[in-house]
Amino acid sequence: FASGCRVGARGPLRLRLPSWRAGAEERRSPACRSLAAAAAMPRLSENMLFGMGNPLLDICAVVDKDFLDKYGLKPNDQILAEQKHKELFEELVKKFKVEYHAGGSTQNSVKVAQWMIQSPYKVATFFGCIGTDKFGDILKKKAEEAHVDAHYYEQSEEPTGTCAACITGDNRSLVANLAAANCYKKEKHLDLEKNWKLVEKAKVYYIAGFFLTVSPEAILKVATQASANNKIFSLNLSAPFISQFYKEPMMKVMPYVDILFGNETEAATFAREQGFETEDIREIARKAQALPKVNLKRQRIVVFTQGKDNTIMATETEVRSFPVLISDQSEIVDTNGAGDAFVGGFLSQLVYDRPLTECIRAGHYAASVIIKRSGCTFPEKPDFH
* Residues labelled as active-site residues: 340
Question: Which DSSP symbol is given to 179?
Answer: G
Q: Which phi-psi region, left, alpha or beta, contains residue 43 (left: φ > 0; alpha: ψ -120 to 50)?
A: beta
CB atoms within 10 A of CB 230: 12
Question: Which candidate, 171, 165, 168, places its Cα nearest to that of 104?
Answer: 165
In angstroms, the CA 267 to CA 272 distance is: 9
Specify whether the CB–CB gap between 139 and 110 falls below 8 A. no
Cβ neighbourhood burial of 151 (10 Å; 0-12, 13-18, 19+): middle
In sequence order, what are the residues at sequence separation of 6 or more whose Cβ sits closer than 8 angstroms to the Cβ of residue 143? 102, 107, 111, 126, 150
What separation in angstroms does the CA of 149 have from each of 25, 50, 117?
A: 39, 9, 14
Element (H, E) at 309: strand 309-314
CB 163 within 8 A of CB 170: no
With vertex at residue 113, the alpha carbon angle to CA 305 and CA 384, rounded to the nearest 5 degrees, is 80
Distances (CA, A) of 337 to 67, 76, 158, 305, 318: 21, 12, 25, 13, 29
Instruction: Give the closest residue to 324 by CA, choosing from 314, 337, 338.
Output: 338
Closest CA to 346 of 241, 240, 232, 252: 232
Burial of 182 (0-12, 13-18, 19+ CB in 10 A): middle
Nearest to 126 by CA among 99, 108, 100, 101: 108
Rounded Cα gap, residues 16 and 39, in angstroms: 19
> What are the Cα distances from residue 232, in Å, to 249, 297, 366?
19, 11, 21
